[in-house]
Structure 1
């Protein structure tokens, strides 16, 4: 049965109202400097935002977010096993400047996860510094706690969609982690890694790098901080 003109008009108006209302709710609910929610964090840099709605958010006092960092919606940021845990280190989860954390990602810190500046995540990335144990065959695996092993992700790296970064991972600077990879252990600077478990596919050297001047149509689309970051790195290497 086809809709009448009145029904079509009513649906159109209601849809527009819902779309506008949801957009306004997301803008208003976002965590940004000056909000009470931001003040609950250990530090929350200028220009940063945590999208609304988040997924799980607790232990904010032990979470530190740098400046101009974008954290997407439905992201989990957690420090400790429970919201009322008193033994979490004061800088359990540190996210640097100008980072991007994609939708539905999860960062679960118990002792130390450190994400350096200009690190970008795809969607659905999971990072943790502790996993379950499985040594005791008389105890359900989910009830066994594994050791805490700090995680570091170096500046300028890209972590692809759906990647998992396990406890003890130390990812170097300017690393690409392929989508769906599972990382554990050391990853050298300038590496491209992929697979389960992730292995080094290649190391990128200076001869592989394109110059922004070669692609002027892309430079206009890049955030200024991304262009400046690449320029500063090239200048530093030239010195």
Structure 2
């Protein structure tokens, strides 16, 4: 795990980096969780990385945000769901973004730079830079311009 300078993560946050050594996509010793400079994480933030989560500079997380690069497979009824990991997929959160209270960022998602993710949104697909996205699943509701 690497954490940039002037980054503040509130008490009670969970930053978990559990590299999956069996994943052939891990070809170097780069940390599975990389957090940029001047990132702010409110209480209740949970980030769980197994393969690759990168958070850009100046990203702010509201309370109770959850970010993960892996999920669980519920299709095998003979195996406990908690033990049935799906393959991890990288997550990227671009610089200058704001992730609202209670948002969930799921595996394989890239969020561009300067993106606002609304409270309680569930991000299941990529979001372009300079936009506001809300809902479950999160959808772009407006573009941000330099006059905003």
Normalised TM-score (structure 1): 0.57
Q: Write the deviation string for residues 169-189 of structure 1: whole angstroms up to 9, x where unpaired.
A: 100000000010110121000
Structure showing greater radius of gyration is: 1
Worse-matched range after superposition: 196-205 or 151-160: 196-205
- Partner residue of 1:149? 89
2:13 paired with 1:79: no
2:114 paired with 1:174: yes
Q: Structure 2: which 5+ runs fail to align?
A: none
After superposition, where does 1:9-88 map in structure 2 within 5 Å?
63-80=1-18
The whole-number CA distance in structure 1 between the counterparts of 2:82 and 2:31 is 26
- Partner residue of 1:199? 139
Helix, strand or coil: the match of 2:82?
Answer: helix
The whole-number CA distance in structure 1 between the counterparts of 2:60 and 2:128 is 17
Q: Write the deviation string for residues 68-120 of structure 1: whole angstroms up to 9, x where unpaired.
A: 11111101011117xxx766853100000011011111010001000000000
The whole-number CA distance in structure 2 between the counterparts of 1:140 and 1:112 is 25
The whole-number CA distance in structure 2 between the counterparts of 1:155 and 1:67 is 14
Instruction: Report the count of equivalent residues.
Output: 143
Q: Structure 1: which 5+ runs fail to align?
A: 1-62, 210-239
Normalised TM-score (structure 2): 0.90
> How far 1:205 sits from its partner (Å)?
1.9
Counterpart pick for 1:121 among 48, 61, 73: 61
- When you count strand as a share of all residues, which structure comes out higher? 2
Q: Write the deviation string for residues 117-144 of structure 1: whole angstroms up to 9, x where unpaired.
A: 0000001111000011122233232221
The whole-number CA distance in structure 2 between the counterparts of 1:94 and 1:117 is 10
The whole-number CA distance in structure 2 between the counterparts of 1:174 and 1:144 is 35
CA RMSD of aligned residues (A): 1.6
2:51 paired with 1:111: yes
- Partner residue of 2:99? 159
The whole-number CA distance in structure 2 between the counterparts of 1:136 and 1:125 is 29
- Partner residue of 1:185? 125
